[in-house]
């Protein structure tokens, strides 16, 4: 049954923004109430604002009736960031997906939050530009979701994360009027007191709704050499990566998958080579004149470290034709199907993807320790990730109805987070805290003797959202 305050809220916004922007059909609500991690929530309506005024009206009524608001891009989060926890309504940004301006002299794109990263890049490609933050989910991930998750991606080694690529943004607050503010600046260089724009990045929809963003864009590199190398011995792979980094080469993409991950992700895809062993997928951006030289450098490096297979392309088109990215792209689907083959169809599965990060110099230690710990648990763990920036994703798929297995997984992921903290790392690089990592956040604050940070964060939350109606229960 819909609570009285939610019913009154829906009636009010029916009048203020229009009926065709609200859905209360049960089947549709179910579709919007879940995440790929397997987490499911419950809501009373999905609202589809079409402009900033709609957003202010929704927030103003939500404030009046104290209705929980769950902002949503594509709900591709993995830590429970977007899933509705208590009753309330989802505000979906899918109808606010326009590109408002692109200026290649100023290196900016001004966009609405619902635009998908892939769509934005297709548009920018026409001017030979790109937005370089490319989560593996970029075909669905929206700019609003990526800002609020502080997302990173395959090019993270070179370009960092969302916090490095947003100059400014407009937000709407959950107050009497749904007040809108412009945070940050239009320019890269900017000193405007405390940096509130960066406070919103990674805030997981708990502080304000992002209604527009001023993004930095950059030219597409002239030439990109890509090499896929497979190694029988994991240490050989890691040594080749460290040697490359030490020699001063900053990879454009540096992705790693252990042998178990390669085995499951290479099944059922159309590739023309045998994929056996631990995989390193490296791209280097360079000039046309230097690409042959870079290709030789990579091939010699991998041979020196005993790679059993090396396939190299001189440009992105050739990399696509050779299928060099296919194994990486199939990863998530492969983890889900591994779950069904292990536990049987019809089971309630959860894919738990760890997201630890360590300084790249500690990556070899971290991966070996995670392997050692995981073997002791006997869980179906696969390890891969963006090793260029020290971010690894040890993952496990399990049946959530099996309490014994669930307890084991919880204990495993605590051990994995501890490994990262002991190596001067962090418990989450890009997926965020959501619901699943709240205890990890406390663990990290404790580790760095910084528990008071939580109190400061709680005070900030209540300044932005005094009634606690924005994505309640997340992060803190
Ligand atoms: C297969 C797979 C691969 C992935 N790979 C990566 C990866 O490589 N790197 C990475 O960083 N992540 C990755 N992710 C996680 C996720 O896809 C990204 O974080 C993505 O950027 C989320 O975008 P979204 O539009 O789906 O956001 P959602 O999941 O809908 O939302 C994310 C958060 O932002 C909030 N939010 C959304 N829009 C707004 C808004 N306009 N205003 C305020 N709050 C808002 C939500 O409430 C939520 O807390 C992956 C996920 C999957 C399933």
* Percent of the chain residues past pLDDT 90, beyond the cut: 87
Residue 199: Cβ-neighbour burial (10 angstroms; 0-12, 13-18, 19+): middle
Name all residues whose Cβ lies below 6 A of ligand 1.
36, 70-78, 81-82, 93, 113, 135-137, 140-142, 144-146, 148-149, 151-153, 204-205, 209-210, 332, 430-431, 471
pLDDT band at 154 (very low <50, low <70, confident <90, very high): very high
Helix (H) or strand (E) holding 397: strand 395-399
Query: Tens digit of pLDDT for each residue in 391-409?
Result: 999 999 888 888 998 999 9
Residue 85 is predicted with a pLDDT of 84
Q: What is the average pLDDT value for the chain, to the nearest integer?
A: 94
Rg of the chain's alpha carbons, rounded to an integer?
A: 23
Ligand 1, atom 13, lies closest to the CA of: 135
Q: For residue 38, is pLDDT > 70?
A: yes
Instruction: Give the separation between CA 102 and CA 111, rounded to whole angstroms.
Output: 9
Q: For residue 43, is pLDDT > 90?
A: yes
Instruction: Give the separation between CA 171 and CA 212, rounded to whole angstroms.
Output: 7
For residue 32, count other CB atoms closer than 10 A to its CB: 21
Q: For residue 1, is pLDDT > 70?
A: no
Residue 457 is predicted with a pLDDT of 98
Contacts of 333 (CB under 8 A, 6+ apart): none
Residue to mutate (ligand 1; options 114, 148, 162, 213; most atoms within 8 A of CB): 148
Looking at the DSSP bridge assignments, the partners of residue 89 are 45, 69
Residue 345 is predicted with a pLDDT of 77
Contacts of 171 (CB under 8 A, 6+ apart): 180, 181, 183, 200, 207, 208, 209, 210, 211
Half-sphere exposure of 16 (CA within 13 A, CB side): 20
Residue 145 is predicted with a pLDDT of 98
**C-alpha torsion sign, points 414, 416, 420, 426:** negative
**151 alpha carbon – ligand 1 mean position (Å):** 7
**Contact (CB, 8 A) for 464 and 424:** no
Query: Tens digit of pLDDT for each residue in 82-141?
Result: 999 888 999 999 999 999 999 999 999 999 999 999 999 999 999 999 999 999 999 999
**32 alpha carbon – ligand 1 mean position (Å):** 14
Q: What is the pTM of this model?
A: 0.96
- Arithmetic mean of pLDDT, 328-352: 83
**335 alpha carbon – ligand 1 mean position (Å):** 19
Contacts of 341 (CB under 8 A, 6+ apart): none
Ligand 1, atom 5, lies closest to the CA of: 136
| Structure tokens given for 343 | 């536990």
Residue 338 is predicted with a pLDDT of 83
Ligand 1, atom 49, lies closest to the CA of: 204
**DSSP E strand stretches across 235-318:** 253-257, 278-286, 307-313
Instruction: Give the separation between CA 56 and CA 140, rounded to whole angstroms.
Output: 25
Residue to mutate (ligand 1; options 56, 72, 139; most atoms within 8 A of CB): 72
CA dihedral 280, 286, 288, 291 (to 10 degrees): -40
Instruction: Give the separation between CA 298 and CA 300, rounded to whole angstroms.
Output: 5
- Arithmetic mean of pLDDT, 192-204: 97
Query: Tens digit of pLDDT for each residue in 234-286?
Result: 999 999 999 999 999 999 999 999 999 999 999 889 998 999 999 999 999 99
**18 alpha carbon – ligand 1 mean position (Å):** 28
Q: For residue 346, is pLDDT > 80?
A: no
| Structure tokens given for 131 | 């937005």
* Percent of the chain residues past pLDDT 70, beyond the cut: 100
Which residue is associated with the tokens 């194994």? 327
Instruction: Give the separation between CA 356 and CA 87, rounded to whole angstroms.
Output: 31
Distances in whole angstroms, Cα of residue 420 to Cα of each of 237, 357, 366, 417: 20, 6, 7, 5
List domains and CATH numbers for the chain. 4-93 (3.30.43.10), 99-219 (3.30.465.10), 223-329 (3.30.70.2190), 343-462 (3.30.70.2740)
Ligand 1, atom 50, lies closest to the CA of: 137
Residue 290 is predicted with a pLDDT of 95
Reduce the DSSP state of residue 75 to 3 states and report it: coil
Instruction: Give the separation between CA 231 and CA 216, rounded to whole angstroms.
Output: 37
Q: For residue 49, is pLDDT > 90?
A: yes
Residue 339 is predicted with a pLDDT of 80
Residue 37 is predicted with a pLDDT of 76
Instruction: Give the separation between CA 59 and CA 205, rounded to whole angstroms.
Output: 13
**Contact (CB, 8 A) for 304 and 237:** no
Instruction: Give the separation between CA 90 and CA 114, rounded to whole angstroms.
Output: 14
Helix (H) or strand (E) holding 157: helix 156-159
**170 alpha carbon – ligand 1 mean position (Å):** 19
- Which range, 17-21, 39-43, 270-274, 445-449, has the best average confidence (pLDDT)? 445-449
Q: For residue 9, is pLDDT > 70?
A: yes
3-state helix, strand, coil in the chain (%, to 5): 40, 20, 40
Residue 331 is predicted with a pLDDT of 86
- Arithmetic mean of pLDDT, 342-349: 80
For residue 247, count other CB atoms closer than 10 A to its CB: 9
């Amino acid at each position: 049954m819909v609570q009285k305050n939610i019913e009154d809220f829906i009636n009010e916004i029916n009048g203020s923004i229009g009926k065709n922007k609200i859905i209360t059909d049960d089947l549709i609500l179910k579709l919007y109430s879940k995440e790929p991690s397997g987490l499911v929530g419950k809501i009373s309506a999905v609202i589809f604002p079409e402009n900033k005024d709609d957003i202010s009206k929704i927030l103003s009524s939500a404030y009046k009736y104290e209705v929980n608001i769950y902002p949503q891009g594509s709900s591709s989060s993995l830590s429970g960031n977007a899933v509705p926890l208590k009753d309330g309504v989802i505000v979906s940004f899918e109808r606010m997906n326009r590109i408002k301006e692109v200026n290649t002299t100023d290196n900016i794109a001004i966009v609405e939050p619902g635009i998908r990263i892939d769509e934005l890049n297709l548009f920018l490609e026409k001017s030979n530009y790109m937005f370089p933050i490319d989560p593996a989910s970029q075909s669905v991930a929206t700019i609003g979701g990526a800002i609020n998750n502080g997302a990173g991606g395959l090019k993270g080694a070179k370009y960092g994360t969302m916090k490095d690529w947003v100059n400014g943004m407009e937000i709407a607050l959950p107050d009497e009027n749904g007040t809108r503010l412009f945070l940050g600046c239009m320019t890269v260089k900017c000193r405007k007191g405390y940096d509130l724009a960066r406070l919103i990045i990674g805030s997981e929809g708990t502080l304000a709704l992002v209604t527009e963003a001023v993004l930095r864009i950059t030219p597409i590199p002239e030439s990109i050499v890509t090499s896929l190398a497979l190694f029988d011995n994991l240490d050989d792979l890691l040594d080749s990566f460290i040697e490359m980094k030490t020699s001063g080469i900053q990879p454009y993409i540096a992705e790693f998958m252990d042998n178990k991950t390669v085995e499951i992700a290479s099944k059922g895809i159309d590739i023309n080579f045998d994929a056996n062993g631990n995989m390193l997928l490296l791209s280097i951006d360079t000039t046309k004149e230097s690409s042959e030289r870079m290709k030789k450098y990579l091939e010699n490096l991998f041979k020196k470290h005993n790679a059993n297979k090396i396939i190299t392309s001189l440009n992105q088109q050739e990399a696509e034709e050779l299928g060099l990215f296919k194994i990486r792209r199939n990863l998530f689907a492969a983890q889900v199907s591994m779950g069904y083959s292990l536990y049987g169809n019809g089971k309630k599965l959860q894919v738990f993807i760890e997201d630890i990060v360590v300084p790249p110099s500690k990556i070899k230690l971290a991966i070996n320790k995670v392997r050692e710990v995981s073997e002791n648990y006997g869980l179906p763990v696969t390890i891969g990730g963006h090793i260029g920036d020290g971010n690894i994703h040890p993952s496990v798929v399990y049946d959530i109805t099996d309490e014994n297995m669930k307890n084991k997984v919880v204990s495993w992921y605590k051990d994995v987070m501890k490994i990262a903290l002991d190596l001067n790392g962090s418990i989450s690089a890009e997926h965020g805290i959501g619901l699943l990592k709240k205890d990890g956040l406390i663990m990290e604050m404790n580790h760095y003797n910084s528990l008071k940070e939580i109190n400061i964060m709680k005070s900030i939350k209540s300044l932005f959202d005094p009634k606690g109606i924005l994505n309640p229960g997340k992060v803190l």
